[in-house]
A and B are shown apart, each in its own frame.
Chain A
């Protein structure tokens, strides 16, 4: 009898066990459904923050308690691979019942993948029965009227969301006291600069190498955009004499191609200087660092501050062995001799808006149940619980945010932000490639702007052309839907909802189309001038 080595037996056994576990994991929901009559409802998202996952898990268990025949499974996928993972699931025909829409999922073509729930959002949410929102249309129970879940082209609603965010600075209070002798947090950029100076002195005295801000690629994006937007307020307002408010990003770029401003403009020069100063406050290598690396640096006490969105609050607060305080990003003031002259005022934040709605997938075997679960998690009671556990600001009306969450509330005092260069793909790529010139050891705004100038015109032209093509695509996409609504309205002239939807669709299509023609005309003039 041939001898079988123990090693081979172990390997084969391990493979068999692994295979068995996989089969068991995959077959369990099916088995539950078949043998116990239990239905498994799956939902996926990219919110890896522990507070959000915990809160969604708690709501899932609450739902299971109410519906013993249902098992709810939460699938959290990292944002980096969400699009690939989600697309594979959708193409494979077996996606979760509910998917968080965004990060490339749907890409504007909701109807291919998701069921609209428009007809349901005007009816009350049954899970609000017995409470103050009883009888209130589901849509009106949201602070933003579910605007974040509506597709602007079709005016169809594709889900409901519990997520919103505001950009804030998280501070290690103990370290702040150690460095400055006080827990007073800077409220202006000048004070922030002063704090950085104090930290450098502390580093020299103590022989430490602490950074002011634990930086990452993502946090740099938030931080720099927040600051640079202050420097273009006046320039962008001058470019928009029709309403005297800052011009929008696309028109800002178009104005550059038309020669209405250039990189020698004091607003752009100062914006680059401000960003360079801010880059010097970040930890070394920030532009290559991921969020978890910067979080680790902050949690280990190697940096005093961290810039992130409110959704990540629980992860930061719970993962840090010290008291964390939350603040608005300090901005230059009008009195600032360097940066004040280009400003109209500190940036006013817009009202909270939901994002990343959970949409019901077309191939869900349980669309009714998915809708019911969606209603459950967005009821006032569930949202209160979600908000408490995740430290996310409540998206449903009538819920007062907890005291510790008040720093996240948007501050609407001030003036709208000006545009910055990083708004569309080609220009973003160019800025990203060039931005290292603003950070140490080079830290040269002049070199940065000179390098940027070489490719900026072509990048802007490509982006604007792409925007025009995208606008015309939207116009074509919605044409059959509008045609159908006109046809339906001939026989349903008393259907206010239909008439209103058609009117909004037509208005949106006309706006997009007319703006695309206007932009095309301006770009053609630019091309004639600079062949």
Chain B
């Protein structure tokens, strides 16, 4: 009897383990498909196990992947995300649902309620510091606040708000993107090299800029800002890094000339 119980227990354990494995692999393959923007396969994978909150989130996002094709997909996605959020707004899936609902409002609504979206982003950042999804709100908040038609004083306050937010971010991509959105806005709207340069320099020093077209742009931007701020040694270092990283760019020849001029000024000094 004891042996039979042991065998049955072992069998039950195996079945449970197998079942658990299947359950965890279905969402995983759904995420892999969604990562490759194959929302049809992703939807099928998530549908197989919609009993978990993870699968329901995946299913909702797979519907979002097909939102350009039918409005029903968008409506169903929104409904599923609202349910997930209302059931538990504080777990990973509730936080993600809150974030994606704000993103949907921002990019799918004909006339988005920008104030409400900004408020959601601020809440996510304040209530869930360091959360991998909540923190994505930082650069999104920055661009909504900074590229708005407001008074100069209000704009100053917004620059300060985003700058103050940066030290609380822990994920490197959010640190980078928030800094770069802020730096770009400071340069585009205020021509403020002094405040923008350290933000770009941080990202370059930490090797956070991975995409080559982006690296090309910011290396050059930083070098020019350093030159304009009179930081010759840093400008020279950045120009040299540009030439080394992009030896075959159409700007490299001119960058070389600027580098020689700067070095000449150094020798002269």
Assess whether B250 is in contact with A472, with CB atoms less than 8 Å apart: no
Assess whether A480 is in contact with B61, with CB atoms less than 8 Å apart: yes
Range of interface residues on B (Cβ < 8 Å): 35 or more
Assess whether A507 is in contact with B214, with CB atoms less than 8 Å apart: yes
Query: Which one of A351, A478, A486, A521 contacts B148 once the chains associate, using CB atoms below 8 Å?
Result: A521
Say whether B154 faces chain A, with CB atoms less than 8 Å apart.
Answer: no
Q: Please name the residue on chain B nearest to A246 by beta carbon.
A: B251
Q: Please, which residues of chain A bring their CB within 8 A of the CB of B251?
A: 245, 348, 416
Q: Please, which residues of chain B bring their CB within 8 A of the CB of A506?
A: 136, 173, 177
Given contacts A243-B221, A480-B62, A486-B133, contact A507 B209 (CB under 8 A): yes
Assess whether A476 is in contact with B68, with CB atoms less than 8 Å apart: yes
Say whether B191 faces chain A, with CB atoms less than 8 Å apart.
Answer: yes
Given contacts A477-B68, A525-B149, contact A500 B38 (CB under 8 A): no
Say whether B37 faces chain A, with CB atoms less than 8 Å apart.
Answer: yes
Residue-by-residue, is B173-209 near A (CB-CB < 8 Å gives 1, otherwise 0)? 1001100110011011001000000000000000011
Given contacts A514-B147, A514-B184, A521-B149, contact A412 B107 (CB under 8 A): no
Q: Pick from B32, B133, B211 the residue with the most CB of A within 10 Å.
A: B211
Assess whether A481 is in contact with B34, with CB atoms less than 8 Å apart: yes
Given contacts A414-B253, A480-B65, A486-B133, contact A507 B173 (CB under 8 A): yes
Assess whether A242 is in contact with B187, with CB atoms less than 8 Å apart: yes
Residue-by-residue, is B40-75 near A (CB-CB < 8 Å gives 1, otherwise 0)? 001000000000001001100110110110000000
Query: Which one of A344, A351, A479 contacts B249 once the chains associate, using CB atoms below 8 Å?
Result: A351
Assess whether A415 is in contact with B214, with CB atoms less than 8 Å apart: no
Q: Pick from B64, B132, B252, B254 the residue with the most CB of A within 10 Å.
A: B254
Say whether B100 faces chain A, with CB atoms less than 8 Å apart.
Answer: yes
What are 26 A-B contacts defined by CB distance under 8 Å?
A: A111-B36, A152-B213, A242-B187, A348-B252, A349-B250, A412-B252, A416-B250, A479-B107, A480-B62, A481-B34, A483-B100, A484-B42, A487-B54, A488-B28, A488-B32, A503-B172, A503-B208, A504-B210, A506-B136, A506-B177, A508-B211, A511-B214, A513-B140, A514-B143, A514-B181, A518-B188
CB distance from A79 to the nearest CB of B (A): 26
Q: Please, which residues of chain B bring their CB within 8 A of the CB of A111?
A: 36-38
**A473 to B65 alpha-carbon distance, docked (Å):** 12
Given contacts A154-B36, A348-B253, A476-B107, contact A484 B61 (CB under 8 A): yes
Assess whether B214 is in contact with A350, with CB atoms less than 8 Å apart: no
Say whether B3 faces chain A, with CB atoms less than 8 Å apart.
Answer: no
Say whether A156 faces chain B, with CB atoms less than 8 Å apart.
Answer: yes
Assess whether A479 is in contact with B64, with CB atoms less than 8 Å apart: yes
Q: Pick from B57, B172, B253 the residue with the most CB of A within 10 Å.
A: B253
**A446 to B187 alpha-carbon distance, docked (Å):** 37
> In B126-184, which residues have CB < 8 Å from any A CB?
132-133, 136, 139-140, 142-144, 147-149, 172-173, 176-177, 180-181, 184
User: Which chain A residues have a beta carbon within 8 Å of chain B's beta carbons?
Assistant: 111, 116, 147, 152, 154, 156, 241-245, 344-345, 347-351, 410, 412-417, 472-473, 475-481, 483-491, 500, 502-504, 506-508, 510-511, 513-514, 517-518, 520-521, 524-525
Query: Which one of B35, B148, B212, B249 contacts A350 once the chains associate, using CB atoms below 8 Å?
Result: B249
Say whether B96 faces chain A, with CB atoms less than 8 Å apart.
Answer: yes
Q: Please, which residues of chain A bring their CB within 8 A of the CB of B184?
A: 514, 518
Assess whether B61 is in contact with A242, with CB atoms less than 8 Å apart: no
CB distance from A175 to the nearest CB of B (A): 33
Q: Please, which residues of chain B bring their CB within 8 A of the CB of A245?
A: 220, 251, 254
Say whether B31 faces chain A, with CB atoms less than 8 Å apart.
Answer: yes
Given contacts A507-B177, A518-B188, contact A484 B35 (CB under 8 A): yes
Inter-chain contact count A-B, CB under 8 Å?
Answer: 161
Assess whether A517 is in contact with B143, with CB atoms less than 8 Å apart: yes
Q: Please, which residues of chain A bring their CB within 8 A of the CB of B142?
A: 514
Q: Please, which residues of chain A bring their CB within 8 A of the CB of B187?
A: 242
Q: Please, which residues of chain A bring their CB within 8 A of the CB of B132?
A: 486, 489-490
Given contacts A487-B31, A518-B147, contact A416 B39 (CB under 8 A): no
Say whether B122 faces chain A, with CB atoms less than 8 Å apart.
Answer: no
Q: Please name the residue on chain A nearest to B34 by beta carbon.
A: A484
CB distance from B202 to the nearest CB of A (A): 15
Assess whether B248 is in contact with A476, with CB atoms less than 8 Å apart: no
Say whether B103 faces chain A, with CB atoms less than 8 Å apart.
Answer: yes
**A524 to B150 alpha-carbon distance, docked (Å):** 13
**A518 to B180 alpha-carbon distance, docked (Å):** 14
**A489 to B191 alpha-carbon distance, docked (Å):** 37
CB distance from B40 to the nearest CB of A (A): 9
Assess whether B177 is in contact with A488, with CB atoms less than 8 Å apart: no
Q: Please name the residue on chain A nearest to B180 by beta carbon.
A: A510
Given contacts A500-B210, A503-B172, contact A517 B144 (CB under 8 A): yes
Q: Please, which residues of chain B bring their CB within 8 A of the CB of A349?
A: 250
Given contacts A476-B67, A518-B147, contact A502 B173 (CB under 8 A): yes
Q: Please, which residues of chain A bring their CB within 8 A of the CB of B149?
A: 521, 524-525
**A52 to B91 alpha-carbon distance, docked (Å):** 58
Say whether B108 faces chain A, with CB atoms less than 8 Å apart.
Answer: yes
Q: Report the 3 A-B pairs with minimum CB-CB distance, sorted nearest first.
A: A351-B248, A484-B34, A517-B147
Query: Which one of B133, B148, B210 contacts A503 once the chains associate, using CB atoms below 8 Å?
Result: B210
Q: Please, which residues of chain B bring their CB within 8 A of the CB of A351?
A: 248-249
Q: A154-B36, A479-B100, A488-B32 are in contact. List 16 more A-B contacts (CB 8 A).
A: A244-B224, A417-B250, A472-B107, A479-B103, A479-B107, A480-B64, A481-B35, A483-B61, A483-B100, A484-B61, A486-B133, A503-B208, A507-B177, A507-B180, A510-B139, A510-B181
Assess whether B147 is in contact with A416, with CB atoms less than 8 Å apart: no
Q: Please name the residue on chain B nearest to A502 by beta carbon.
A: B173
CB distance from A33 to the nearest CB of B (A): 27
Assess whether A513 is in contact with B253, with CB atoms less than 8 Å apart: no
**A349 to B252 alpha-carbon distance, docked (Å):** 10
Q: Please, which residues of chain A bring their CB within 8 A of the CB of B34?
A: 480-481, 483-484
Query: Which one of A242, A479, A487, A513 contacts B191 once the chains associate, using CB atoms below 8 Å?
Result: A242
Query: Which one of A350, A489, A513 contacts B250 once the chains associate, using CB atoms below 8 Å?
Result: A350
Q: Please, which residues of chain A bring their CB within 8 A of the CB of B188?
A: 242, 518
CB distance from A416 to the nearest CB of B (A): 5
Q: Please, which residues of chain A bring their CB within 8 A of the CB of B143?
A: 510, 513-514, 517
Q: Please, which residues of chain A bring their CB within 8 A of the CB of B211?
A: 504, 507-508
